[in-house]
Homo-oligomer: A and B are copies of this chain.
Amino acid sequence: MQDKILDFLKKKSSGYISGEEISQHLGISRQGLWKHILELKALGYEIIAVPHLGYRLVSIPDRLFPSEISYNLNTKFIGKKIYYFEEVATTMDIALDLGIKQEKEGTIILAEGQTKGKGRLGRSWFSPKYKGIYFSLILRPEVLPQQASLFTLLSGVSVCEAIKLITHIDVQIKWPNDILIHNKKLGGILTELSAEMDKVHFIVIGIGINVNNDKKTLPMNATSLKLKLKENINRIELLKEILRRIEENYFLFKEKQAKIIIEKWKEFNCTLTKRVKIIAHKEHIEGQAQDIDLDGSLLIRCDSGLIRKITAGDVIHCR
């Protein structure tokens, strides 16, 4: 009911709408409406009521409420269902649990803050409340387990495209999953999968972005969109654009396969052609980052001339 009332207010956001009009349309009493308005105000919606004119929505709160994300989202399946939390340990574990319970493709698990935000290899992702965007997305692509890392690239591309559209900031991707501004970490993408050997059952994409963090609420060597722009960014609009971009790129991937995603990824990347050190599973590799393979792996030309295919690891850009 509150969502419906908000819809009315938003349609008239320039002017007033009478309580009577809303009440009649929604079939509730004036007193019932007033109670809902009070509840919306408690959530942070600034709504003024002027006798003889009615209600007017002045501002919406800086919260990623599902009703705000869904409003004019216009996606086919990404973000159609949203689990919203004020604070959780990590949205990843909730998503994995829901994935096993057959939760639909496209569902997102969203939190204003995480107490144990997850990075790669059990590292933490600092997730202060109301500052960033932290969510996990359930996908069920028909791919083999070894193709799962393509979705890290796809999500990276989508985040970069959305940031560019909303803030006009140029961001870069360091293989495989770091979103950077001038070599400082702005965001990260964590891909987890549940699979058998023949088939991915589902993938969970975790995305964390530092949006409105000040220096105090950022780890060392990290940055935020606010630090770059010197103003607060509308997290709702940014998140909506990320969801739209993921959906668009996912459809592109289905239609035209991995190649198109990798081409897009290359435009944003800052790893290729560089000399890199890679700390991978149980070994260190050094060489020139040459290309991305069709499964999202990084191809390194070692000094011996040998080409090594790296599926995962920490990359250090030399110089």
Q: Which residues of A contact B (CB under 8 A)?
A: 93, 96-97, 100, 120-121, 143-146, 148-149, 152, 176, 190-199, 201, 281, 311-313
Contacts and interface: CB of A to CB of B under 8 A. Distances in A.
B144 A197 contact: no
Contact of A197 (B194, B201, B312): B312
Contact of A311 (B96, B100, B197): B197
17 contacts: A96-B100, A120-B197, A121-B199, A144-B311, A145-B145, A146-B146, A148-B197, A149-B197, A152-B197, A190-B196, A191-B197, A193-B195, A197-B311, A197-B312, A198-B281, A198-B312, A199-B312
Contacts of A121: 196, 198-199
A192 B198 contact: no
Nearest to A119: B196
Contacts of A176: 197
A144 B312 contact: yes
Given A146-B146, A149-B197, A193-B193, 6 more contacts: A93-B100, A96-B100, A97-B97, A144-B281, A146-B311, A191-B197
A143, A195, A313 — which one has the most chain B CB atoms within 10 A of its CB? A195
B144 A194 contact: no
A267 B192 CA distance: 35
A281 B144 CA distance: 7
A194 B196 contact: no
A112 to B, nearest CB: 24
Contact of A198 (B96, B120, B194, B197): B120
B145 A194 contact: no
Nearest to A146: B146
Among all A-B residue pairs, the 8 with the closest Cβ atoms: A198-B312, A197-B312, A149-B197, A192-B196, A194-B194, A144-B281, A121-B198, A146-B146
B194 A96 contact: yes
A198 B280 CA distance: 8
A149 B191 CA distance: 20
A102 to B, nearest CB: 10
A143 B100 CA distance: 22
Contacts of A197: 120, 148-149, 152, 176, 191, 311-312
A199 B190 CA distance: 12
Contacts of A190: 196
Contacts of A311: 144, 146, 197
A149 B198 CA distance: 10
A197 B121 CA distance: 9
Contact of A120 (B120, B149, B191, B196): B196
A97, A120, A148, A194 — which one has the most chain B CB atoms within 10 A of its CB? A194
A140 B284 CA distance: 23
Nearest to A295: B146
Contacts of A97: 97, 100
